[in-house]
Amino acid sequence: MSYLVLARKYRPLDFGSVSAQEHVTRTLANAIRRGKVAHAYLFTGPRGVGKTSVARIFAKALNCERGPTPEPCLKCTSCREIAEGSGLAVREIDGASHNSVDNVRELIESFRSLPPPGSVYKIYIIDEVHMLSMAAFNALLKSLEEPPPHTLFILATTEAHKIPDTVISRCQRFDFRALPVREIEACLRQIAESESLDVEPEVFRMIARQADGSMRDAQSLLDRVQSFCEGHISASETEQVLGIVQHRSLFALSAAILQQDASLVLSLLDEIFAIGIDPGVFLKEFVSHWRDLLVAKFGGEAALKRLGISSDHVAQLLEQVSGRSSSDILDLVQLVRQGADDAMRSAYPKYALEAVLVRVSCRESVKDLGVLLERLKSAAAKGTLLARGGGGSTPTPPETAQLEKRKSPEKKVQEAQVSSQASAREERELDWPEFVHFSAEKGVCILHEQLRRMVVVALKPGRLELKGPDFSVAYLEKKENRDQLCSLLEEFSGRPNWRIKLSRGNTGAQAEDGSLAVAEDLERRQVERERVEDINNHPKVQSLKKAFPGSTIENIKVKE
């Protein structure tokens, strides 16, 4: 007997065994139970997530000798024939090879025949239906709108956007989801137990992430790995057979980029490609690694574990992003992604990748310009509300002392009130940026980002009133986050028992007008505009314009 691959051997046989598609299976089961089965269905979604399998299960449920029933017996003649693909009541058609109008006309002729004895429905499953020609779709429209009695259509596709709206509107549409890593990992463990395979736990996670949401791809990869390994399936052998970049190489390369060591970057790339890693595979793994670093910076440990990342790798990711500003990580991720896109389109992806990573590693870290400016202003101010150290008093010049003596008491009181009001305004403006920067120094990245988006409404000893977007206010309304803010205020100012009042401004996560985030963005744009204007007015640029009359400057890249 020929070997049956794992993807076919462990294909789901009923609705209960379908992974991660409950929104589809439950709806179909309820439709059967209530007698509300439609005449046409459209199953869309990525490859290998169960579209055709669910179509077959649906066909078995409708034509089972006990049915129609949401729980087919799997033992009757109809169920067995559908599972084997030999039944006359269910016809599976490949849209890629039967895409002409003549093929569809032949199909329409068969609609007139009744279901075979013992079957309630005659079911047509058209896979990759988006491959049909426009004429073929038009020929099928009338049958989809007014189908013959006891005839049911199930259309499956990975590219729903290629199907005409006139076809989609005549079908009940179900969007299948890519399977999460944990779901794939759990299914692979069950298969390994059933097959008595000796597999290292890390292998399941590696295959699940490599499958990119496709259960069929994951099962095929496990088949491939077990054929390569002899007995015990190890993580190192899995990396070798699948061409996966080792995690230690990814961490070493990202560390070299963060340390701005271009020489080490080139050396590590040579080592990676020397063992035969495909540049396309490497790019996918490398971009995924930087995505994990982004999640580590903004989501922390809990978000990383939701992605199915092992505890060891979680610790390494958190360590790499510690001490790095959020703006720096965001900028690096964007540069890496754009560089990977360019390298994939290049005729020489390896050389393009080397150039990209050297350029990224030679860049300067992103500085929070707005915060730096405010810190300079704060350094010039003395005796602010939240200052950690008290400044000494400045001696009054003799001339000033004589003038003070000549002023009337009423004049002195009036000037004192004006001075007090101006000082209070200055303290609110100067101290808040310094405190926000202090929160960044303490490593509370998420809190720091929310404070940057908010504005100070009132700032008094022991009392702080903030206004911010819904997302930031909701974050600070949580007790643990509010307590963290109070603790930082106490540490920064030396004053205990802070009271915090919050008010909502912008919807979503958009920063408030007047916040540090908005000020920083405006400052950066202004600096860029000035630099671009200087470049435009440069004598060499002007001479080039004169040498090439009618020419225009399409783009200016400002060197960091």
What's the pLDDT tens digit per position in 94-115? 888 888 888 888 888 877 777 7
Mean pLDDT, rounded, for 534-556? 73
Q: Which residues fall within 8 angstroms of residue 414, CB to CB, at 6 or more apart?
A: none
pLDDT surpasses 50 at 391: no
Q: Which two tokens stand for residue 155?
A: 């259309």
pLDDT surpasses 70 at 411: no
Mean pLDDT, rounded, for 455-468? 82
Give the least confident one: 76-80, 216-220, 409-413: 409-413
Distance CA 68, CA 63 (A): 6
User: Between residues 154 and 337, which one has the greater pLDDT?
Assistant: 154
Mean pLDDT, rounded, for 53-71? 89
Which of the 8 DSSP states describes residue 98? Answer: S
Share of the chain above pLDDT 70, in %: 85
Which of the 8 DSSP states describes residue 225? Answer: H
**So what's the pLDDT on residue 386?**
45
pLDDT surpasses 70 at 199: yes
**So what's the pLDDT on residue 25?**
92
Coil, helix or strand for 468? strand
Highest mean pLDDT among 291-305, 382-396, 415-429, 534-548: 291-305
**So what's the pLDDT on residue 557?**
64
Mean pLDDT, rounded, for 232-238? 85
Distance CA 223, CA 217 (A): 10
Number of H-type helices and E-type strands within the chain: 25, 10
Q: Distances from the Cα of 179 to the Cαs of 53, 202, 297, in angstroms?
A: 15, 18, 25
Q: Which residues fall within 8 angstroms of residue 239, CB to CB, at 6 or more apart?
A: 206, 245, 246
DSSP H or E run through 323: none
**Structural domains in the chain, sorted by start:** 6-175 (3.40.50.300), 181-242 (1.10.8.60), 247-366 (1.20.272.10), 429-547 (3.30.300.180)
Query: Peptide bond before 68: cis, by omega within 30 degrees of 0?
Result: yes
User: Between residues 326 and 127, which one has the greater pLDDT?
Assistant: 127
**What values do phi and psi take at 158, rounded to 5?**
-100, -10
Q: Which residues fall within 8 angstroms of residue 341, CB to CB, at 6 or more apart?
A: none
Which of the 8 DSSP states describes residue 177? Answer: P
Count CB-CB contacts under 10 A for residue 170.
22
**What values do phi and psi take at 395, rounded to 5?**
-60, 140
pLDDT surpasses 60 at 181: yes
Q: Which amino acid is at 4?
A: L
| pLDDT (tens digit per residue) in 359-384 | 888 776 545 445 555 655 665 554 44
**So what's the pLDDT on residue 32?**
92
Cβ atoms of residues 218 and 211 within 8 Å: yes
Helices (H), ranges, 381-511? 398-406, 409-441, 445-452, 470-477, 479-493
Share of the chain above pLDDT 90, in %: 12
Residue 55's pLDDT band (boundaries 50, 70, 90)? very high
Query: Helix axis angle, 516-536 relative to 409-441, nearest 10°?
Result: 80
Distance CA 429, CA 425 (A): 6
Percent helix, percent strand, percent coil in the chain, to nearest 5: 60, 10, 30
Distance CA 355, CA 138 (A): 50
Which of the 8 DSSP states describes residue 5? Answer: P
Average pLDDT, the chain: 80
Mean pLDDT, rounded, for 117-128? 86
Q: What is the pTM of this model?
A: 0.58
